[in-house]
């Protein structure tokens, strides 16, 4: 189910999710991103835990800048 959701999300944004997942790297608290998944060394998926809090301090913009440097 999760894979289908990711595929739908990628398709909606004109991107292609890999047909074969060979490697997933998981980093916790990577430069303030709660969880960072890297799929096949090509796709970065940040996961932010927002239980009991809201987005603040331009988090999404900062995370985008962090992920652009990772490329």
Task: Tell me the residue length of the chain.
Answer: 71
The answer to whether residue 8 is domain-embedded is no
Number of domains in the chain: 1
Contact (Cβ atoms closer than 8 angstroms) between residue 37 and residue 24: yes
List Cα–Cα distances, 42 to 39, 50, 57, in angstroms: 6, 26, 28
Domain of residue 50 covers 20-70
pLDDT of residue 10: 77
Name the nearest CA neighbour of 27 among 19, 37, 18: 37
Could you tell me the pTM of the whole model? 0.69
Torsion of CA 50, 54, 31, 12, to 10 degrees: 70
The answer to whether residue 26 is domain-embedded is yes
pLDDT of residue 71: 58
**pLDDT tens per residue across span 31-53:** 888 999 998 988 888 888 877 77
């Amino acid at each position: 189910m999760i894979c289908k959701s990711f595929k739908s999300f990628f398709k909606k944004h004109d991107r292609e999710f890999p047909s074969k997942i060979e490697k997933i790297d998981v980093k916790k608290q990577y430069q303030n991103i709660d969880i960072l998944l890297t799929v096949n060394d090509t796709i970065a998926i940040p996961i932010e835990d927002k239980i009991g809090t809201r987005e603040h301090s331009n988090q999404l913009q900062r995370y985008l800048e962090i992920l652009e440097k990772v490329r």
